[in-house]
C-alpha cells in the first residue's frame, strides 16, 4: 500500500491535480490486486503477501517519494520559466 500511495502522490504532484492522483492510485491498486489474483490462481492476498515483491514495492515507493520531494522543493516561479 505504501508503493501505491506513493504512486498516487507522485501522479498528483506532477499533474497538480488530486483527481489524477486518485485515478493513478486506483489503477495501481487494481493492477496489483488483479495481477496477484491471476498469479496466485484466485488468491486475493497473494499480491501483497509475496516476499518476492517486497523489493520492487520498496523501489517504486522510494522513487515516487523522491519525485514528490524534488517536484515540491522547486519554487513555482522557476517551474513557470521552463
* Ranges of each domain in the chain: 2-81
pLDDT for 47 beyond 70: no
- Dihedral of alpha carbons 7, 11, 16, 20, sign: negative
| Residue 9 to residue 22: CA distance in whole angstroms | 9
Range list of β-strands (E), 1-81? none
Share of the chain above pLDDT 70, in %: 67
Q: What is the mean pLDDT of residues 57-61?
A: 78
Q: Is the dihedral of CA 27, 30, 33, 39 positive or negative?
A: negative
Average pLDDT of the segment spanning 32-43? 68
Amino acid at each position: 500500500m505504501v508503493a501505491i500511495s506513493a504512486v498516487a502522490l507522485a501522479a498528483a504532484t506532477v499533474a497538480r491535480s488530486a483527481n489524477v492522483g486518485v485515478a493513478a492510485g486506483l489503477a495501481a491498486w487494481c493492477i496489483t490486486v488483479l495481477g496477484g489474483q491471476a498469479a496466485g490462481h484466485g488468491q486475493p492476498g497473494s499480491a501483497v503477501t509475496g516476499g518476492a515483491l517486497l523489493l520492487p514495492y520498496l523501489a517504486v515507493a522510494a522513487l515516487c517519494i523522491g519525485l514528490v520531494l524534488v517536484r515540491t522543493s522547486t519554487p513555482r516561479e522557476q517551474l513557470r520559466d521552463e
